[in-house]
A and B are shown apart, each in its own frame.
Chain A
């Protein structure tokens, strides 16, 4: 009977797909990551002070992925260090328009002048934000190669071949101290890796999670960067 003969075939296909997904999730491509820090001042944070992570939006052609800053924020909020991480939108709205792409200071040298604008210093004090962390950078596919061919017929479908591509995640965080209107330091996080897509009947993606690695590296370094005052 056709129904009984197709059922095991579907079951086999589902089993193979599940195995492929498990394999893909378990293995993954190889990632090399590097984090560098340049500290200009000791970054002390009182318990009633917070930091805000902002995305640099000045570039026309590129912009840090929203998911990346969310990843850094989530990681820091779940981390061992008790840091208050404020929301980007609330800060930008409270200080509107002075941190919009058109007007945002591009270096900490411009902070003293910004602080003298009517109401800015008072509004920042009200918000409790002590440090700004400007994140800039992105993840790009820098190269790749290979080929996969897939075919479908009456007996079934399948693919054969291999593809690979290189991912490069480069991010930089500039930390500004709003209390003293100066730069506190910079942290750069870079992760590179090659993803593979081998296909023997079913393609099994082995993804190099460079963005996740860069996020983790940056978040951990940021946690080390700040010293939370306990008193």
Chain B
């Protein structure tokens, strides 16, 4: 038999519910976060190369869940934010990019590619203001870009550590964490944009500097240092 309700009970119940919600919110009980932000296209000069980009499911559907030391549970759903950010950066970095879906990374079916890049998230971590004794959420993300030659051989891996922070707002911890994550992803994009012209993994894609080289009568490149002296042997003109 249902218990008869006393007059005023619904109000009391609502008050109790609101009070419980407020206490839980004040206690910092975590939250569910979706990264829905847009990322700008970097203002950089593209390398003249056609690069394939392969996104594994791990980065395509990256999600993170953690329970912090204060007992709060946080979940971060990146959605397609990593894909959007990396497509913008890699699209600006190379004159042409093509997303490839073949995990075998062989170019038999993908003619014309100069390299294939497979980005991954190695680590995502954050600290709450309570954990680090500050007013900020701090986020760190480590990306790894595996660079493959057209025949599938791994040329090298490019590690990027990125960092973001956002001031904690009262009762808006989830928004602050999302903002810190956005800043960390922007920092990763900035790091990639800064470093791409100096990476040994991408050296094969760099254009030959016209200032350092001249051409012989066949159109082949000759190092500038040797172009002004007589060619005395095969070793002096070799190397191109």
* Cα distance, A63 to B176, chains bound together (Å): 14
- The total of interchain contacts (Cβ-Cβ below 8 angstroms) comes to 49
Q: Which residues of A are found within 8 Å of B186, using beta-carbon distances? A: 96-97, 100
Q: Of B115-123, B188-196, B200-208, B232-240, which stretch is located at the interface?
A: B188-196
Asked, given contacts A96-B189, A100-B186, whether A66 binds B167 with beta carbons under 8 Å apart, the answer is: yes
Q: What secondary structure prevails in chain A residues at the interface with B? A: loop
Q: How far is the CB of A58 from chain B (nearest CB, A)?
A: 11
A102 touches B191 (CB 8 A): yes
Which single residue of chain B is at the shortest CB-CB distance from A60? B165
B187 touches A101 (CB 8 A): yes
Please provide the chain B residues from 39 to 79 with a CB less than 8 Å away from any CB of chain A in the complex.
40-45
A118 touches B42 (CB 8 A): no
B43 touches A95 (CB 8 A): yes
Which single residue of chain B is at the shortest CB-CB distance from A99? B190
Q: Which residues of A are found within 8 Å of B44, using beta-carbon distances? A: 118
Asked, given contacts A96-B189, A97-B189, A102-B194, whether A63 binds B167 with beta carbons under 8 Å apart, the answer is: yes
Asked, given contacts A63-B136, A95-B43, A118-B45, whether A102 binds B190 with beta carbons under 8 Å apart, the answer is: yes
Q: Which residues of B are found within 8 Å of A226, using beta-carbon distances? A: none
| A123 proximal to B (CB < 8 A) | yes
Q: Which residues of A are found within 8 Å of B42, using beta-carbon distances? A: 96-97
Interface residues of A (CB under 8 A from B): 57, 60-61, 63, 65-66, 92-98, 100-103, 117-120, 123
Interface residues of B (CB under 8 A from A): 40-45, 134, 136, 165, 167, 183, 186-187, 189-191, 193-194
Closest 4 CB pairs of A and B: A97-B190, A96-B40, A93-B40, A100-B190
Q: How far is the CB of B15 from chain A (nearest CB, A)?
A: 15
Q: How far is the CB of B164 from chain A (nearest CB, A)?
A: 9
Q: How far is the CB of B173 from chain A (nearest CB, A)?
A: 16
Asked, given contacts A63-B136, A97-B186, whether A119 binds B165 with beta carbons under 8 Å apart, the answer is: no
What are some 25 contacts across the A-B interface (CB < 8 A)?
A: A57-B165, A61-B134, A63-B136, A92-B40, A93-B40, A94-B43, A95-B43, A96-B43, A96-B186, A96-B190, A97-B42, A97-B186, A97-B189, A97-B190, A97-B193, A101-B183, A101-B187, A102-B187, A102-B191, A102-B194, A103-B190, A118-B43, A118-B44, A119-B45, A123-B43
Which single residue of chain B is at the shortest CB-CB distance from A98? B43
A119 touches B190 (CB 8 A): no
* Cα distance, A92 to B187, chains bound together (Å): 12
Q: Which residues of B are found within 8 Å of A66, using beta-carbon distances? A: 167
* Cα distance, A118 to B42, chains bound together (Å): 11
B43 touches A100 (CB 8 A): no
* Cα distance, A93 to B37, chains bound together (Å): 12
* Cα distance, A65 to B170, chains bound together (Å): 14
Given contacts A60-B165, A65-B167, A103-B190, 20 further A-B contacts (CB under 8 A): A57-B165, A63-B165, A63-B167, A94-B40, A95-B43, A96-B42, A96-B43, A96-B186, A96-B193, A97-B186, A100-B186, A100-B190, A101-B183, A101-B187, A102-B190, A117-B43, A118-B43, A118-B45, A119-B45, A120-B43
